[in-house]
Amino acid sequence: MTPLVRGAVSPPVNVAIVGCAHQPHAWSYARALASTPSARLVAVFDDDPALARSVADDFGAPVADDLDALLAPGELDAVVVCSPTAQHRRHAEAAASAGCHVFSEKPIATTTDDARAMITACRDAGVQLHVAFVIRFLPHVRTIKEAIDSESLGEVIGIRAGNRGRPPLPPRYPAWITQARESGGGALIDHSVHLTDAIRHLTGREVVSVAAETGELLWGAGVEDCALLSLVLDNGAVAGLDQSWSVPANNPWDYDFFLRLVGTQGSVDLDDLAESVQVVSGRMADGLRLAGFADDPDAEMIETFCASVRQGRLLEPSASGEDGLRALEVALAGYASAASGAQFVAPASGTA
């Protein structure tokens, strides 16, 4: 999809992973970086060396034990930040001041102050800030965006989208994701930012009002695991988001993404579970499982990040720091709404 960079004569972009707290994502980005000629995975850093090794070792990448040394002037071009969400700002600011472009895991931060500080630090340093909104890179989402941009669906007026899973609990995930101080909250912030961004990306509209119902009803993880958000967009379109951790332990699939939208001239029904085969195996798990056959969108996202760094501008469909901030503002408005009995709340509208 980006033939400009494949096999290009220019040298690969030198990238380090800073923070591995979002371990499965850090591992996936490491795989993407290690398997593309566009990039070189220079090193993997985490405050916890064992966690860094769990990401680096599979790809023969060195583990950096000192962040300052890693960021010291030299060959490093960019960093992928996968630390706990509340640490993104610290790592992004350090990278920006070292002149490194930043690719941040989502959500961009736990507070709008932190998100704005990241945007400012990167702008002042003249480096790019990307946010890992991977839904933009799904082939079907690109097709839907083309249909919307060509106005063949008319004006989008209604959307229902979902991104459900389970709480990211140990041992597969480090414990911080269900600790609100480090992650900003539970299911609401974890996945609503993906859905909000997908809607903003597809419609080009901003969210002007948010109402939410949340509850800790399923897992006893100490944060909300059920969250339903209602959005009003600036053209009067409305959306319902389900980002609940409502997938049972023995479900045939672990995560889903669906998008159903209706415009004045047509509608869309997208369900990523369709890209899978059904399997029953005595070796995998009890009962039916869905085995997906979709391309890895992380690879495309990382490829586009590297191409953006090379070309000196954010390439479509990359998400910027501002995109990360907007999605965070909607999530925080959702928390404010849920705390006030589902009042409609305007997302903070300050400009970055």
Q: Which residues sit at the interface with another protein, rule CB under 8 A? A: 157-158, 160, 209, 211, 213-215, 217-218, 226, 228, 230-232, 236-240, 242, 244, 246-248, 251, 260, 262, 264-267, 269, 341-344
Widest distance between CA atoms in the chain: 58
CB of 74 to another protein, least distance (A): 50
- Integer Cα distance of 348 and 302 in angstroms: 30
Between 55 and 161, name the residue whose CB sits nearer to another protein. Answer: 161
Q: Which residues contact 1 (CB under 8 A, 6 or more apart)?
A: 300, 303
CB of 79 to another protein, least distance (A): 38
Between 165 and 324, name the residue whose CB sits nearer to another protein. Answer: 165
CB of 112 to another protein, least distance (A): 23
Q: Which amino acid is at 185?
A: G
Between 73 and 341, name the residue whose CB sits nearer to another protein. Answer: 341
Between 189 and 237, name the residue whose CB sits nearer to another protein. Answer: 237
Q: Which two tokens stand for residue 33?
A: 């970086």
CB of 91 to another protein, least distance (A): 35
CB of 278 to another protein, least distance (A): 13
CA distances (Å), 247 to each of 89, 114, 164, 270, 293, in order?
31, 31, 7, 19, 20
- Integer Cα distance of 281 and 205 in angstroms: 45
Between 299 and 342, name the residue whose CB sits nearer to another protein. Answer: 342
CB of 341 to another protein, least distance (A): 6
- Integer Cα distance of 346 and 165 in angstroms: 27
The phi-psi region of residue 32 (left if phi > 0; otherwise alpha if psi is between -120 and 50; otherwise beta) is alpha
Cis peptide before 84 (omega within 30 of 0): no
Between 183 and 244, name the residue whose CB sits nearer to another protein. Answer: 244
DSSP conformation class of 345: B
Strands of 39-45's sheet in order across:
63-64, 39-45, 13-18, 78-81, 101-104, 129-131, 319-320
CB of 332 to another protein, least distance (A): 18
Nearest partner of 274 among 291, 262, 261, 260, judged by Cα: 291
Between 53 and 260, name the residue whose CB sits nearer to another protein. Answer: 260
